[in-house]
A and B are shown apart, each in its own frame.
Chain A
Amino acid sequence: MQCERCNKKKATVFYRENINGRVKALRLCGDCAEVMEEAGELEDMSTVLSGAHSPLFAFTGTGCPIPLWGDAADSSKKTCPTCGESLARAAERGRLGCPACYTAFSSELAAPLRVFHGRATHTGRVSAGFRARKEAERRLSELRERLRAAVAAEEFEQAAAMRDEIRRLEATL
């Protein structure tokens, strides 16, 4: 019997997953059981019922016990150049290594993200810090453009003022 989560290793642990009273048996390898347990995705109902833990802990799982990636990720040798996380390991854990992983694995992530969320583009709150950096970048490129024009027109006094402004902006980024 193979592990029902990774479909690779031999299943050694038998778990009962309990969602809304629908009990589902899960056969897992030791690694997958550990990953899911850590993430709070498996609730050992016997400890809940015996009162060893607060019954309210049964609510702390994420309710998303499916790995997000398909088979393609497993055979990939790709790694994130920023943190070194491999695509295969990230897919197995359902967690990425660092923010830059999203860029590194963007093509592999696109389809599962669409399936999970149903959408592909963020529409909510925008980080104020991000907005400020964007605005500074926009202003910088505009200034650089005007600086070139000023130099071409031999308006050196204005050009000097722009150079100062550019230096000041660059320091904030």
Chain B
Amino acid sequence: MSWYHIPGNQQDTVVCTCVRLSRNLAAYPFPARLDAVAAKEIIGQVGAVLERSGFIPTDFSEISRKGAESLAEKRFVSLRFARESLPHALFLNDPCNLSVAVCEEDHIRIRCILSGLALADAYEGAAKVEALLDGALELAFDEKMGYLTASPAHIGTAMEASVILSLPLLAESGRAEGLIRHAEQTGLSLRGLSGGGQGHIGGLFCLTNRMTLGVREEEILEAMESAVQLLTTTERGLRSGLRGEEYDRITDRVRRAEGVLRHAHLLSATEAVELLGLMRLGAAMGISRGVRVELLTALLTEAMPATLTVGIEPPPKTRTDEDILRAKLVRERIFGDT
């Protein structure tokens, strides 16, 4: 089981929510200036606390590069972390919604990631883990600057909340630009997953907070919550406002997406993201029936290059082999065909 197998709130428009808290130990330089010995010390200290609370460690020296990249696709660590040469570790809880990366850009990065819209729960989850560590280790904290982080862009709360949204109609409506500017004015950042400047892949957007100093965690969550409401209401308005020909055109695109996902022999990662986005839209609008939306969320991770092929023997030799595997996985998961 992982976070992406569980149904979430407002899945018609929200894919997942992640709250990340960055913390550093007062007695050590930040990871970029750390030697291997000190990095191992930190992993030992943090690990001792976490393992007492049932977290399971992943030793990056023992897993393949692909295994590490797969952990990044599941959003437990950053891609850079997965490829880092300095000793580093990841601790995961059992339902796999809490992760602690040690010696990423900061010594400790706690992430709580949940399906759908769950800002308050994700913060609470991350804060609980933080409290475990805060009691046992001396964290770098300053009264005026808050939690001290390697990048001055994160000091203060050192919290990054992010929500991944599925807004395919909004992406095409030409209203995205204005909403992106609006988000910026409220101290947030809204970015589309864009393919070389032409449109938005799968209608996916990521909303994050930019400012961290001088705002309370609750204020950040409130600002995020109302920005999400604005975006989702706009998208839902566009969906329910579709009439006549427009509705038929969308229905056709959803059905075609279904057709390709059901019958394609080759499926690239980008095409999969695009078509899964259309299917999510179809499920939300009642065009596709009997689709479990959490399955589509899971495939956004499971059909990605590293997660798809990790542990497969022999590993796919070419991109074509990989695309065959992906087409097969998607077909089996959504339609139960083989």
Contacts and interface: CB of A to CB of B under 8 A. Distances in A.
B33 A49 contact: no
Contacts of B78: 40, 60
Contacts of A63: 189, 191, 208, 210
B191 A98 contact: no
Contacts of A55: 193, 201-202, 269-270, 273, 304
Given A52-B305, A56-B300, A130 B193 contact: no
B196 A49 contact: yes
A97 B144 contact: no
Interface in A97-143: 97-99, 102, 109, 112-113, 116-130
Nearest to A116: B153
A120 B319 CA distance: 50
A5 B322 CA distance: 38
Given A121-B214, A122-B145, A124-B146, A18 B151 contact: no
Contacts of B187: 118
Contacts of B212: 117
For the complex, would chain A's binding face be called helix, strand, loop or mixed by DSSP majority?
Answer: loop
A68 B73 contact: no
A92 to B, nearest CB: 12
Contacts, number: 202
B239 to A, nearest CB: 22
B260 interface: no
Interface in A27-74: 38-40, 45-46, 48-60, 62-64, 68
B152 A60 contact: no
B153 to A, nearest CB: 5
Interface in B214-236: 214-217
Given A58-B193, A120-B214, A99 B33 contact: no
B124 interface: no
Contacts of A95: 30, 32, 105, 150-151
For the complex, would chain B's binding face be called helix, strand, loop or mixed by DSSP majority?
Answer: mixed
Given A45-B196, A102-B145, A64 B152 contact: no
Nearest to B267: A51
Contacts of A123: 156, 214-216
Contacts of B26: 99
Given A98-B30, A99-B24, A116-B153, A125 B189 contact: no
A20 B29 CA distance: 35
A97 B33 contact: yes
A124 B144 CA distance: 10
Interface stretch (B44-52, B132-140, B240-248, B282-290): B132-140
A171 B290 CA distance: 64
A48 B193 CA distance: 10
B93 interface: no
A22 interface: yes
B151 A127 contact: no
Nearest to B31: A95
Nearest to B216: A124
A1 interface: no
A160 interface: no
B215 A124 contact: yes
B144 A121 contact: yes
A97 B29 contact: yes
Nearest to A97: B33
Contacts of B196: 18, 23, 45-46, 49
A116 B32 CA distance: 22
Contact of A51 (B155, B192, B305): B305
Contacts of B105: 39, 95
A7 B148 CA distance: 28
A49 B270 contact: yes
Given A54-B306, A98-B28, 9 more contacts: A21-B197, A40-B79, A51-B269, A64-B153, A68-B153, A102-B152, A116-B153, A117-B211, A122-B157
25 contacts: A20-B194, A21-B197, A21-B200, A45-B195, A51-B269, A51-B305, A55-B269, A55-B304, A56-B193, A56-B273, A56-B301, A57-B73, A59-B193, A59-B206, A62-B151, A63-B189, A68-B152, A95-B30, A96-B150, A97-B29, A98-B33, A121-B144, A122-B143, A123-B215, A127-B141
Interface of B: 24, 26, 28-30, 32-33, 69, 72-73, 75, 78-80, 105, 127, 131, 134-135, 137-148, 150-153, 155-157, 159, 162, 164, 176-177, 180, 187, 189-202, 204, 206, 208, 210-217, 268-270, 273, 300-301, 304-307, 319, 322-323
Nearest first, the 8 closest Cβ-Cβ pairs linking A and B are A119-B214, A122-B146, A54-B304, A99-B140, A117-B213, A98-B29, A127-B141, A51-B269
